[in-house]
Structure 1
Amino acid sequence: MSDLVKIRKYVATVEETLHDFGPVLARPVTKAVVGGVIANPYAGRHVADIQPMMKALEPLAIDLTERVMKILGAQGSELEAYGKGAIVGLNGELEHAALWHQPSGFGIRHAMGGAKSIVPSTVKVATAGTRIDIPLHHVTAAYVRSHFDAIEFCVPDGPRPDEIVFIVAAAVGGRPHARVGGLTPAEIKLGDGQR
């Protein structure tokens, strides 16, 4: 990792859903999320040019995605949904979370071996222990309704005021018992990440 990316710890959460008041699923829906807690090099001061950190974050995005895949026991091609997020400690600013948008998208797709759909995201500035919902949707087409979901994430002791938590989430499967219609994975045609 770069001198700009100094990691303190990793935190992971996994969910395995066997059913959701319907019949037991033939294959459980499994979701995982991993956060990397790093020092915020821009905390406590306004820095006009923060873009150098974007390139420095690409290896972290690959690392977090590989950790998610390992937890799920899945290769990149087996992931059906993904998402990302960031929590900035109180001595930082929301723009520090925005640094994650480009490198995380690159890193996630690189670690997976490619994917078309935009990676949904959420960010906030908050105290240690704040919970955040990481949105999930289908990796190939953003409009696959069965895969609109989320996974909750928290680092009990982070981010500290001078830290940022960068987060990657993924799932094998969509929502259990999805039955509200819309585009299905089998109907994806355009391959452009949209439909």
Structure 2
Amino acid sequence: MPDVIIRKSVLHVEEIFHEGGPVAPEPLRRAALLTVIRNPFAGRYVEEIQGFMADLKPLGLSMARDLLGALGDDPAAIEGYGKGAIVGAAGELEHGALWHEPGGYAMREVLGKAKAIVPSAKKVGAPGARLDVPITHINASYVRSHFDAMEVGVSDAPRADELLLALVMTTGPRIHARAGGLAATDIRGEDGLR
């Protein structure tokens, strides 16, 4: 399959102290790592594209490790995650779907015991397009306090022949989470859902 050619990477880290209520004793930290690569399938229809997923695996692992490092390098501190892709206009949505396995499995590998599926979003967009990357708890998708999203994007990407690949991690629930549902302390950890 084609080489993975990187044009740029962008790291975005947030610390959230409050959302209008009391200041949290420890801020929620969340980070996104975005990598812009050449889309080897841009401008034409290619039937067999699955092999590119294997080519993306080293990039996924590198991004997951760097993202963890940006949040303190402690897998035990990470409670939420998500992934996404924006496909440049000369590509197709299916090219973004190639990020599911390399991005998701990389974060689960780096975090060790994560059980929940890594939620994902993808779309086709022009340079500067934004994407809301969904976030859920790493061990149980039904933990309502961790339902979140992080908006990501790069001002000059993706160009028509590029893919923008994103990974997101967080250190906890939404600040002031109080909407009920399954609590993180009640996770059984049997199936990645509850």
TM-score, shorter chain, exceeding 0.5: yes
Deviation at 1:3, TM superposition (A): 4.7
Root-mean-square deviation (Å) = 1.2
**Any stretches of 5+ residues in structure 1 without a counterpart?**
none
Q: Percent identity?
A: 48
CA shift for structure 1 position 101: 0.9
In structure 1, the residue corresponding to 2:150 is in which secondary structure? strand
Q: Which residue of 2 aligns with 1:123?
A: 122
Q: Is the partner of 2:60 in helix, strand or coil?
A: helix
2: distance between equivalents of 1:114 and 1:8?
A: 32
Q: Which residue in 2 is equivalent to 1:13?
A: 12
Residue type of the alignment partner of 1:170: M
* Paired residue total: 194
Cα distance, 1:76 vs structure 2: 1.9
Q: Does 1:114 align with 2:117?
A: no
Q: What are the ranges of 5 or more consecutive residues in structure 2 without an aligned counterpart? A: none
1:60 is aligned to: 59
Matches within 5 A, 1:160-171: 160-171=159-170
Residue aligning to 2:173: 174
TM-score normalised by the chain length of structure 2: 0.96
| SS of residue paired to 1:114 | coil
Distance (Å, rounded) in 1 between the aligned partners of 2:117 and 2:77: 17
The separation in 2 between residues aligned to 1:103 and 1:70, in whole angstroms, is: 19
Q: What residue identity is the alignment partner of 1:118? A: I
Specify the alignment match of 1:150 in structure 2.
149
Which consecutive segments of 4 or more residues in structure 1 shift more than 6 A? none
Q: Secondary structure at the match of 1:110?
A: helix
Residue 136 of structure 1: aligned partner: 135
Looking at structure 2, the residues matched to 8 and 52 of structure 1 have their Cα atoms a distance apart, in angstroms, of 21
TM-score by length of 1: 0.96
Distance in structure 1 (CA, Å) of the matches to 2:113 and 2:103: 13
Secondary structure in 1 aligned to 2:145? helix
